[in-house]
């Protein structure tokens, strides 16, 4: 029960995108379609789970004053591993996410969770926190990607919902990313207000 | 010469780092509530980005490529940038206390500004030479400052507006950013040379 | 849970160990993935060649020929195709730097007379929904969109706006120009290959 709580916390109470407003660059940059949004979310989640677990494991042997550089090395290592394996086995996905894969390193979510959670909790809890926050991020990116793809081109995960001519291209382009996210966050604020 | 002008115009207007490339959004949303702090942040980013891009370019071409360690790029670059920001903070504090007072608060925030690492990686991907990289870094940073300053001006006015409750803060800011991005799309397609 | 004190020795040691472990891990991963990465690139080229050329029996990758276009820095790659002994066309991989968002790389297929048999857009960063449509647009059977079956030696491969014979992508003229520019440069690479390498065969 308590373990489920950790995941729920990351997914809803402390949703990185909608509540903490962290990691905005990939949120806007990779959500041109539901597929790329979801892939970016999963990639970030993978790195977050590994880095959270690893940082929790080494927390007692890292002196306080060098903890930030140590965390950065750990995160960057996992990001580079991900980059290499994606280049080898998922080259087209790697190309469509482009520079946002190496930039996972500077995603505030990762360093933030390392500092705020993994450095204070056990390995299992940190791992679950990674799963929860990662899922929260993935759900947010997939949702935004779905909305933009639907409004922009009339498809969801490339499945046609309505003819392309009714789509409004601006949602696939840069301005639509900002506007769609703005309305999405406002909508979630609205739901949260009503439920409490 | 024409290449440099083309790089400058493209980096500032056509491919603006915030509105077209979605990099550096965190400081863009976080430090844009007041015009003065937006300009301070812009100056600090310009400073760090220029130096960081030069240093990482040299590391990439003099160390990583000859030693066939290009796959270590991400990890090396982020460490160099983090160390560089720390060093700059110490050096500026010693040499130019006035400058430190103006930029000091913004420096620690820059390490996790993805625009700095992003530009360092982009110049390598684009195959720029040293001069082009420096010009690209500086003009990208100017584009960032421009975006931040315009946006801060708008947000100062937004404070006084009667915005629906749930839209207040980040949501309305994002929508304004979207409209600004639309305006910047007007520059797209401009090519020089 | 007791933290190590921040003495210089502890700091240097812990950072050093973490860095060494990280470097070792990356070196191992690089060794493991470098094969598949190269294989994936090769596979991509083979797939593109197969998509643009009808039939061939040789290995075009093995007889790759490079051509540096006037004013270009990187070479174009010509992959000649043979059906048995007779030359039946070539796939040419080329690029233009004048796309809407920079570089556009395309693989074109030509038959032995220089007619376009197909194309595959290999790499681009054009706007989704506009310039990014080039992968489908220039093979559509509507108006004067299609470049398939055209011969750049006789047809004006420019967009209609510039007085050419091809309808560019609506609202994406710059992407269309870059696409057609690549086609023209690839055709000149193809012609260069024919006059340089096939002349000897013809003399015999």
Find out whether B81 and B109 touch, Cβ atoms under 8 Å: no
Q: What is the mean pLDDT of residues B162-185?
A: 89
Answer whether residue A48 is part of any domain. Answer: yes
Flag whether C117 is in a domain. Answer: yes
C23 inside 8 A of chain B by CB? yes
CA atoms of C10 and A58, how far apart (whole Å): 13
- Strands (E) in A17-165, as ranges, are 155-156, 159-160
In a domain, A17, yes or no: no
pLDDT tens-digit profile of B52-76? 999 999 999 999 888 888 888 888 9
C118 and C109 in contact (C-beta within 8 Å)? yes
Element containing residue C86 per DSSP (H, E): strand C86-99
pLDDT of residue C203: 45
Asked whether C161 and C176 are in contact (CB, 8 A), the reply is: no
Measured between CA atoms, the residue of chain C closest to residue A31 is C128
Report the residue from A69, A111, A174 with minimal CB separation from B181: A174
Query: Largest Cα–Cα distance in chain B?
Result: 60
Does the pLDDT of residue A108 top 50, yes or no? yes
Q: Does B71 touch chain C (CB under 8 A)?
A: yes
Cβ atoms of A179 and B175 within 8 Å: the answer is: yes
Confidence of residue A144 (pLDDT cuts 50, 70, 90): very high
Neighbours of C129 (CB within 10 A): 20
Record the tokens describing residue B8, joined without a space.
């400058």
Minimal-distance CA residue of chain B relative to A30: B22
Q: Are strands C76-83 and C65-67 parallel, antiparallel or unpaired?
A: antiparallel
Domain of residue C65: give its range: 53-203
pLDDT tens profile C150-164: 888 888 888 888 888
- Which chain C residues touch A63 with a CB distance below 8 Å? 3-7, 10-11, 14
Three-state DSSP state, C117: strand
Q: At what angle do helices B170-185 and B130-158 cross, to 10 degrees?
A: 130
C-alpha gyration radius of chain C: 24
Question: Is C9 inside any structural domain?
Answer: no
Q: What is the mean pLDDT of residues C102-131?
A: 84
Say which residue, A183 or B36, is predicted with more confidence. Answer: A183
Residue-level pLDDT at B177: 92
Q: How many domains does chain A have?
A: 1
Is there a domain that residue C47 lies in?
A: no
Which residues of C fall below an 8 Å CB-CB distance to A? Answer: 1-7, 10-11, 14-15, 18-19, 22, 25-26, 29-30, 33, 35-37, 40-41, 44, 123, 127-130
In a domain, A59, yes or no: yes
Is position A95 within any domain? yes
Q: Which of residues 86-125 of B touch A (CB under 8 A)?
A: 111-114, 117-118, 121-122, 125
Q: Is C105 on the interface with B (CB under 8 A)?
A: no
Q: What is the pLDDT of residue B192?
A: 61
Whether A176 is covered by a domain: the verdict is yes
Write out pLDDT tens, residues A133-143. 999 999 999 99
- pLDDT higher at C102 or B90: B90
Is the confidence at residue A167, as pLDDT, over 50? yes
In a domain, C2, yes or no: no
pLDDT at C99 over 50: yes
Q: What is the pLDDT of residue C204?
A: 40
The rounded Cα B180 to chain-centroid distance in angstroms is 17
Per-position DSSP letters for C32-43, written without gaps between them: HHHHHHHHHHHH
Hey, of C128, C135, C169, which one would you mutate to test binding to chain A, going by the most A CBs within 10 A of its CB? Answer: C128
Angle, helix B73-95 to helix B114-126, in steps of 10 degrees? 120
Mean pLDDT of chain C: 82
Three-state secondary-structure class, residue A9? helix
Instruction: Give me the domain span that covers residue A107.
Output: 2-11+26-195
Contacts of residue C174 in chain B, CB cutoff 8 Å? Answer: 189, 191
Nearest CA in chain A to C126: A173
Chain C neighbors (3+ CB pairs < 8 Å): A, B
Closest residue to A77, CB basis, from C10, C26, C127? C26
Tell me the pLDDT band of A196, cut-offs 50, 70 and 90.
Answer: low
Q: Are C92 and C108 in contact (CB under 8 A)?
A: yes
CB burial of residue A78 (10 Å; 0-12, 13-18, 19+): buried
A50/A80 Cα distance (integer angstroms)? 12
**HSE-CB for B54 with a 13 A CA cutoff:** 10
- C19 falls within a domain: no
**CA-based nearest distance B184→chain C, Å:** 14
Q: pLDDT-based confidence at C1, cuts 50/70/90?
A: very low
* DSSP 3-state of A119: coil
At C41, the pLDDT band (50, 70, 90 cuts) reads confident
More confident position, B151 or A22: B151
Q: Of A29-33, A181-185, B37-41, C59-63, give the range with the top mean pLDDT.
A: A181-185
**Span B89-100, pLDDT tens digits:** 888 888 878 878
Alpha carbon separation from B169 to B27, B33, B158, B164, B174 (Å, rounded): 15, 10, 9, 10, 9
Q: How confident is the model at residue C168 (pLDDT cuts 50, 70, 90)?
A: confident
C36 domain-assigned: no
Question: What rounded mean pLDDT belongs to chain A?
Answer: 88
* pLDDT tens string B135-158: 999 999 999 999 999 999 998 888
**Number of C-beta neighbours around residue C141 at 10 A:** 7
* H or E segment and range at residue A131: helix A123-153
Q: For residue C57, what pLDDT band results from cuts at 50, 70 and 90?
A: confident
Number of domains in chain C: 1
| pLDDT band of C10, cuts 50, 70, 90 | confident
Q: Is residue A19 part of a domain?
A: no
The answer to whether A66 contacts C14, with C-beta atoms less than 8 Å apart, is yes
Question: Is A123 at the interface with chain B, CB within 8 A?
Answer: no
Could you tell me which chain B residue has the CA closest to the CA of A101? Answer: B74
Closest C-alpha among C36, C167, C181 to residue C106: C181
Bridge partners, A160 (sequence order) = A155
Percent of chain A with pLDDT over 90: 38
Q: Is the pLDDT of residue C202 over 60?
A: no
Distances (CA, A) of C149 to C92, C109, C118, C142: 16, 10, 8, 14
CA separation for the pair C183, C147 (Å, rounded) = 9
pLDDT at C102: 75
**ipTM of this complex:** 0.86
Suggest the residue from B11, B13, B72 to mutate for an interface test with chain C (most C CBs closer than 10 A). B72
Q: State the average pLDDT over residues B13-41.
A: 84
């Amino acid at each position: 029960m308590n373990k489920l709580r950790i995941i729920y916390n990351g997914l809803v109470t402390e949703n990185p995108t909608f509540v903490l407003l962290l990691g905005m660059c990939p949120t806007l940059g990779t959500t041109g379609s539901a597929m790329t949004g979801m892939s970016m979310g999963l990639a970030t989640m993978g790195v977050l789970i590994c880095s959270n677990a690893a940082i929790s494991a080494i927390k007692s042997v890292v002196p306080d004053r060098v903890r930030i550089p140590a965390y950065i090395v750990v995160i960057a290592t996992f990001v580079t591993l991900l980059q290499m394996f994606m280049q080898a086995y998922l080259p087209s996905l790697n190309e469509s996410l482009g520079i946002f894969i190496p930039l996972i390193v500077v995603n505030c979510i990762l360093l933030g969770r390392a500092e705020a959670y993994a450095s204070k909790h056990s390995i299992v809890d940190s791992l679950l926190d990674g799963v929860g926050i990662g899922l929260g991020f993935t759900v947010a990116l997939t949702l935004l990607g779905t909305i933009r793809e639907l409004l922009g081109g009339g498809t969801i995960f490339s499945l046609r919902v309505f003819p392309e001519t009714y789509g409004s291209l601006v949602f696939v382009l840069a301005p639509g990313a900002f506007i769609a996210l703005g309305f999405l966050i406002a909508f979630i604020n609205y739901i949260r207000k009503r439920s409490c | 010469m024409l290449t440099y002008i083309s790089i400058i115009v493209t980096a500032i207007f056509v491919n603006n780092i915030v509105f077209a490339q979605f990099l550096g959004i965190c400081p863009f949303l976080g430090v844009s509530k007041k015009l003065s702090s937006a300009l301070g942040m812009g100056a600090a980013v310009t400073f760090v980005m220029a130096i960081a891009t030069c240093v990482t370019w040299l590391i990439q071409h003099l160390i990583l490529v000859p030693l066939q360690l290009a796959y270590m790029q991400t990890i090396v670059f982020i460490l160099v940038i983090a160390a560089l920001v720390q060093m700059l903070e110490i050096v500026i504090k010693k040499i130019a206390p006035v400058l430190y007072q103006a930029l000091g608060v913004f420096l620690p925030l820059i390490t996790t500004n993805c625009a700095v690492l992003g530009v360092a990686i982009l110049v390598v991907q684009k195959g720029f030479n040293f001069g082009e990289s420096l010009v690209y870094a500086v003009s990208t940073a100017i584009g960032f400052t421009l975006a931040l300053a315009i946006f801060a001006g708008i947000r100062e006015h937004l404070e006084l507006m009667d915005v629906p409750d749930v839209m207040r803060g980040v949501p309305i800011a994002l929508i304004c950013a979207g409209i600004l991005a639309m305006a910047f799309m007007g520059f797209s397609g401009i090519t020089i040379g | 849970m007791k933290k190590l004190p921040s003495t210089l020795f502890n700091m240097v040691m812990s950072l050093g160990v973490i860095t060494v472990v990280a470097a070792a891990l990356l070196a191992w991963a690089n060794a493991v993935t470098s094969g598949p990465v190269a294989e994936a690139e090769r596979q991509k080229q083979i797939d593109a060649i197969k998509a643009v050329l009808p039939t061939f029996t040789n290995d075009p990758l093995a007889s790759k020929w490079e051509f540096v276009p006037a004013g270009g820095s990187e070479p174009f790659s010509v992959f000649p195709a043979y059906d048995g002994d007779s030359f039946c066309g070539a796939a040419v991989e080329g690029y233009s730097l004048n796309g809407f968002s920079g570089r556009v790389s395309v693989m074109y297929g030509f038959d032995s007379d220089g007619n376009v048999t197909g194309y595959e857009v290999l790499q681009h960063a054009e706007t989704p929904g506009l310039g990014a449509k080039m992968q489908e647009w220039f093979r559509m059977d509507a108006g004067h969109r299609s470049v398939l079956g055209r011969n750049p030696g006789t047809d004006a491969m420019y967009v209609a706006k510039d007085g050419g014979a091809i309808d560019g992508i609506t609202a994406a003229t710059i992407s269309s120009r870059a696409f057609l520019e690549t086609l023209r440069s690839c055709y000149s690479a193809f012609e260069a290959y024919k006059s340089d390498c096939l002349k000897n065969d013809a003399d015999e």
